[in-house]
Structure 1
Amino acid sequence: MIWSLPKLCVRSIAFVLVLLGIGLASGAAVAASPADATRHCAGRFVNPITGPCWDCMFPLSVGGIPLFKGTRPDAPNPSSPICFCGTPVPRVGLEVGYWEPHRLMDVTQKPFCFVNLGGVSISPGIGYGQKTSVQNSDGRGDRTAYHVHYYVYPLLAWMEILTDFVCMEQSSFDVAYITEFDPLWNSDELAAIINPEVFLFSNPIAVMACAADCVAATATGRPIQQMFWCAGCQGSLYPMTGLVTGQYGALPGALQVAERFTAKMHRELLALGTRGSLSLCAPIIQPTMDKLQYRYQEIYPVAHKGRLACNAIGKSTVPYEAGKVYPVKGEDLGFLIWRKRNCCAL
């Protein structure tokens, strides 16, 4: 419920205090770098009422029949409105399809800069360096690196919107993943341990093929599912690290990192499949990300709303990116991740 939301702030503050304790305990042994002491972290807490673009929850469908179409293309739904499940309780129900805001994500070049926790910056006392961006004369980034922080954020369950208990994710706010502690995130070579197929797609032909995915995602709102290595106009989903080459702007680069990180969560079995007939009774293990399952809404520094908000993976940012990143806050971005859910509801 809305009245329980202050508890989220309490948990966030507790998490911050824990990290501060770690920093103080280790600070005597290893001093933080001067850059860590002077960096500026920007951010704010997400307003659960005004922050999300609530139009992004639609289309809402029963089987293959849309009840509320909305303004955005929908991912394909099972055709039959009737479903049968044996777990978690035996039931006959209606197949319901909707989009839910379920995760928050920080994308930042500054270590331990928690954008969606109000811009809190913490020094752990172990000398993490700030990520850098090397620019060419034409403004294109040669190589840019980002950190990611991943938050559990089942907003619909908290606000009791669509209250079917079987479909709702019954969890609380949590900081689920911090890439500063993940050596695989900071090294293309080590990341090959979990995505060895990267060697098949690290060539010009595979990268150029992503142009077709870019066109499809931009024109129809649906990326090409078979081109699982592509992030459309953002480039390639490989390697699954925070290292980006050829970045022309903070928003496209950060969006590519957010899409890569989602793919990484699936590869590590920390994210599940929730779209399609196989996931009606319960989310399924999905080591290769379903690109039709996700939409990304920029939530900081500008809460992006309107027809161009909540875009599919790979859609071009050119129509809407103007004014979405401030010069001073350009390295700290927050995203709200919307997930397609097909569920057998009571």
Structure 2
Amino acid sequence: MLSRALVRVGATLLLGLMAATANAAGVTTCQGRFPNPITDICWSCIMPISLGGGTLASIGGQEDIRNPASPICSCGVNPTVGLSIGFWEPARHVEVVRRSFCLVSLGGVDLNPGIAAPDAGRYTDGTGDQNSFYQAHFYVNPVLYWLQVVADFPCLERASFDLAYLTEVDPLWNDDELTLILNPEAALFANPVALAACAADCVAATAGFARSELFWCAGCQGSLYPLDGHNIYHLGGVRTAELLMQRLTAKMHRELLAWGSHGAAGLCGPYFLPVMDKAAYKTQLTFPIPSTGKILGRCCQPFGRTTVLWGAGKEYPVKGEDFAFILFRKRNCCVGY
């Protein structure tokens, strides 16, 4: 009897040790991969390329927003006359991660400098709904420029790959009340009527582009507010990552770290745009499974589009629960001669 009891105790301790080890491994795991520009990026998303209001090139019926109607433009105090060109520039990269300071897009590098920051987690509130929290990182990634795909094209952002923003060092990212400093208008839309309007934004984003007038909505992903890492309705990792990617981009605009570059105002250079225009971005998943397969002829999705079609099968346990996206922003430019 004593030997059996000792065996049971030993087995219990062993199982407990194995569970603790597994939990620790889950917390400390930092997986990733630098996006391969050949296989992981859907280059057709750059299109359509436009001249004025007309289309010069497009593959697979790529979606576009309105361009300046006139093909002729001018910039500067002493006007330089040029051509009005429009395209979608792959210029930013966003990753949504479980472990703080885990740089997925740099191959899974642990950058933790010893600063206390909350890791991601999923939890159930008093109503039974599953909530979640993730950290996120914002990169400057002008792929076309640093690959030298097009030489001497003045419309490309001239920068190198750079880690621009870490939410782990931002106290607003983990506090719904503190983040009201950036978006006090969120209090106006925390009601059932404003949230119900997001259904119309979801329909618009799924059919084309989200409605800029509904700036408090993130399309089918729910509410864009608050601009932090908390999600009160966790319905899958891909959907939540898409939501937080939109929030972080909106946060960059609100902090004037991201500017507008589209429309007639963008022909002569970037301009302040503190309220993000959702229709000016298309996105493509690059990790854990690059979303290069075409859905209805396209592999990039506008902000707010449902993840039901393109997000299926893109998440898997342990190594496939962090996500990275490349952002294609709309760029209108006056190419002078």
Q: Deviations over 1:6-57 (max 9, x none)?
A: xxxxxxxxxxxxxxxxxxxxxxxxxxxx969951011111112222100111
Judge conservation of contact 1:36–1:127 (CA < 8 Å) in 2. Answer: no
Deviation at residue 280 of structure 1 after TM alignment:
0.2
| Structure 2 counterpart of 1:30 | none
Summarize the Cα distance change of 1:56–1:262 in structure 2 as closer, same or farther, 3 Å threshold.
same
C-alpha separation in 2, matches of 1:305 and 1:38 = 29
| Structure 2 counterpart of 1:120 | 109
| RMSD over equivalenced CA pairs, Å | 2.0
Question: Is 1:111 equivalent to 2:87 in the alignment?
Answer: no
Deviation at residue 60 of structure 1 after TM alignment:
0.7
| Structure 1 counterpart of 2:136 | 148
Judge conservation of contact 2:283–2:303 (CA < 8 Å) in 1. Answer: yes
My pick for the range that moved more, 35-44 or 169-178, is 35-44
SS of match in other structure, 1:150: strand
SS of match in other structure, 1:80: coil
C-alpha separation in 1, matches of 2:217 and 2:115 = 36
Summarize the Cα distance change of 1:178–1:35 in structure 2 as closer, same or farther, 3 Å threshold.
farther
C-alpha separation in 2, matches of 1:160 and 1:75 = 26
SS of match in other structure, 2:84: strand
Deviation at residue 325 of structure 1 after TM alignment:
1.3
Judge conservation of contact 1:60–1:66 (CA < 8 Å) in 2. Answer: yes
SS of match in other structure, 1:99: strand
Deviation at residue 72 of structure 1 after TM alignment:
2.3
For residue 145 of structure 2, the aligned residue among 137, 157, 163 is 157
Deviation at residue 159 of structure 1 after TM alignment:
2.3
| Structure 2 counterpart of 1:93 | 82
Question: Is 1:80 equivalent to 2:70 in the alignment?
Answer: yes
Question: Is 1:169 equivalent to 2:157 in the alignment?
Answer: yes
SS of match in other structure, 1:129: coil
C-alpha separation in 2, matches of 1:223 and 1:129 = 32
The structure with the larger Rg is 2
C-alpha separation in 2, matches of 1:91 and 1:291 = 31
C-alpha separation in 1, matches of 2:272 and 2:94 = 21
- 1:157 is matched by which residue type in structure 2? Y
My pick for the range that moved more, 325-334 or 221-230, is 325-334
Question: Is 1:46 equivalent to 2:35 in the alignment?
Answer: yes
For residue 286 of structure 1, the aligned residue among 248, 252, 273 is 273
My pick for the range that moved more, 299-308 or 230-239, is 299-308
SS of match in other structure, 2:168: helix
C-alpha separation in 1, matches of 2:27 and 2:167 = 21
| Structure 2 counterpart of 1:207 | 195
SS of match in other structure, 1:185: helix
Deviation at residue 112 of structure 1 after TM alignment:
0.5
Deviation at residue 278 of structure 1 after TM alignment:
0.7
Deviation at residue 124 of structure 1 after TM alignment:
2.2
The within-5 A match list for 1:252-291 is: 252-291=239-278
| Structure 2 counterpart of 1:6 | none
Deviation at residue 101 of structure 1 after TM alignment:
0.7
Question: Is 1:179 equivalent to 2:182 in the alignment?
Answer: no
Question: Is 1:333 equivalent to 2:332 in the alignment?
Answer: no
SS of match in other structure, 1:259: helix
SS of match in other structure, 2:138: strand
Q: Deviations over 1:107-163 (max 9, x none)?
A: 012101100000112332234332211258xxx962211111111111111223344
Deviation at residue 213 of structure 1 after TM alignment:
0.5
The unaligned stretches of length 5 or more in structure 2 are 1-22
For residue 227 of structure 1, the aligned residue among 214, 238, 253 is 214
C-alpha separation in 2, matches of 1:37 and 1:303 = 23
The unaligned stretches of length 5 or more in structure 1 are 1-33
C-alpha separation in 2, matches of 1:76 and 1:163 = 27
C-alpha separation in 2, matches of 1:287 and 1:125 = 33
C-alpha separation in 1, matches of 2:25 and 2:317 = 20
Deviation at residue 69 of structure 1 after TM alignment:
2.6
| Structure 2 counterpart of 1:129 | 118
**Identical positions, percent:** 50
TM-score normalized with structure 2 length: 0.87
- 1:132 is matched by which residue type in structure 2? G
Summarize the Cα distance change of 1:243–1:36 in structure 2 as closer, same or farther, 3 Å threshold.
farther
- 1:317 is matched by which residue type in structure 2? T
Deviation at residue 224 of structure 1 after TM alignment:
1.0
Judge conservation of contact 1:35–1:129 (CA < 8 Å) in 2. Answer: no
C-alpha separation in 2, matches of 1:231 and 1:216 = 11
C-alpha separation in 2, matches of 1:239 and 1:230 = 11
SS of match in other structure, 2:232: strand
Judge conservation of contact 1:217–1:232 (CA < 8 Å) in 2. Answer: yes
C-alpha separation in 2, matches of 1:290 and 1:38 = 36
| Structure 1 counterpart of 2:58 | 69
